Amino acid sequence: MKIAYLFPGQGAQYIGMGKDLYEKYEEIKNIYEKASRLLGVDIKKISFEGPEEELIQTKNTQIAILTMSLGILEVLKKNEIQAEMSAGLSLGEYSALIYSGVISFEDGIKIVRKRGEIMQENIPEGDWQMAGIIGLEDEKVEEICKGVNEGFVVPANYNCPGQVVISGEGNAVNIAMEKAKEAGAKKAVLLKTSGPFHTEKLKVSAEKLKNELEKIEINTDFNKKVIKNIDGEPYNPDDNIREILARHVMSPVKFKKSIEKMIELGADTFIEVGPGKTLSGFVKRVNKDVKIMNITDCDTLENVIVQLRERN
């Protein structure tokens, strides 16, 4: 059995996430309290009580999801469950880097908070939208975006076979959605986002994030693989990790390639660690033969621990 962890990104959040885990597991409670002390922010209150307008602020969403994922990891570690490789969707890549020891817990908490603030405060002016296109080949979606002359729109997330997220100016995104439906897309759905994430329009955010990344330590002596969003390949010690993480916010997310690479590297058991189970669905679309589990509350955490003990 070769385990791979998957860590969710922005969009997976919901009011109350992590509350039952916090109340039951001392390890998880400690992670919330440690992260809150580091930032001077009550992460549990934002996560458990909201209000939603506060939780969905990028600076809060990202740190809330990260803290929940890191708390769950502590319980898995206590139960001697470890993954040989990991990947995360956008923000989730930081969870993977912290898990693998590339970034320390303290630096990780601080840089993710700073990343959220930078992304929230530096969205360029304009009407920006993101939309999920379901049921078309990647190349067809790329072709449709290139064919829109009424504004900026590009692919931003390659999630799984037949699912690409596009990002850009509202009018251009709407035109691309109509063209996608005409081309046979099963669905074209606007997402609840407010910025042109993972596109060149976040260049200012990328530059500011690079300056912040220069302030943290990067450990290049790591033995657990982390698969990069920008190309679906593992990080290696020679990579300029700060540069990659800065470009990350303005580069398309190649999550489908990341899953394919982990399977190629021998992963046969995927565990999604954090709120929601979106990433589990992506894995199913790539390969139905691998074992897929997710941990989002006490019941699912205990189920994973029991199942993995039985398999061992």
C-alpha to C-alpha distance for 312 and 308, rounded to whole angstroms? 6
Q: State percent of the chain over pLDDT 70.
A: 100
Among the listed residues 36, 167, 198, 258, the single catalytic one is 198
pLDDT in tens, 139-190: 999 999 999 999 999 999 999 999 999 999 999 999 999 999 999 999 999 9
79 plus 158 within the same structural domain: no
198 classed as catalytic? yes
Annotated catalytic residue 90: yes
Q: How many C-alpha atoms does 109 have within 13 Å on its Cβ side? A: 20
Neighbours of 147 (CB within 10 A): 11
- Report the amino acid identity of residue 192: K
What's the mean per-residue pLDDT of the chain? 96
Strand, coil or helix: 87: strand
pLDDT of residue 139: 98
pLDDT at residue 202 is higher than 70: yes
Say which CATH number the domain at 179 has.
3.30.70.250
Looking at the structure, do residues 210 and 245 belong to the same domain, yes or no? yes
In a domain, 70, yes or no: yes
C-alpha span between 173 and 262 (Å, rounded): 32
3-class SS of residue 167: strand
Beta-carbon contacts of residue 288 (< 8 Å; ≥ 6 apart): none
Residues 211 and 63 in one domain: yes
Residue 312 has pLDDT above 70, yes or no: no
| DSSP classification of residue 244 | H
Q: Which residue in 47, 90, 100, 167 is the catalytic one?
A: 90
Q: Does residue 101 sit in the same domain as residue 136?
A: no
Based on the fold, state whether residues 38 and 179 are members of the same structural domain: no
pLDDT tens-digit profile of 206-249? 999 999 999 999 999 998 999 999 999 999 999 999 999 999 99
From 190, 220, 241, give the residue that closes a domain.
190
Q: Are residues 31 and 116 in the same domain?
A: yes
SS3 115: helix
- N-term to C-term CA, the chain: 8
How many domains would you assign to the chain? 2
Same domain, 84 and 108: yes
Render pLDDT for 92-122 as a digit per residue (tens, 0 to 9).
Answer: 999 999 999 999 999 999 999 999 999 999 9
- Specify the CATH number for the domain of residue 254: 3.40.366.10
Do 27 and 136 share a domain, yes or no?
no
Q: Are residues 81 and 221 in the same domain?
A: yes
- Domain boundary among the residues 168, 190, 212 is at 190
Exposed, middle or buried: residue 9 (CB in 10 Å: 0-12, 13-18, 19+)?
buried
237 and 288 share one domain: yes
Pairing of strands 269-273, 225-226: unpaired
- In b/e form, how buried is each residue of 221-251, taking b as 16+ CB within 10 angstroms? ebebbbbbbbebebbeeeeebbebbbbbbbb
Please check whether residue 195 lies inside any domain of the structure. no
Question: pLDDT grade, residue 309 (50/70/90)?
Answer: confident
Same domain, 111 and 223: yes
* One-letter identity of residue 216: I
Tens-place pLDDT, residues 20-78: 999 999 999 999 999 999 999 999 999 999 999 999 999 999 999 999 999 999 999 99
Do 158 and 134 fall within a single domain?
yes
Query: pLDDT band at 194, cuts 50/70/90?
Result: confident
Of the candidates 190, 220, 238, which is a domain's last residue? 190
Q: Which domain holds residue 175?
A: 128-190
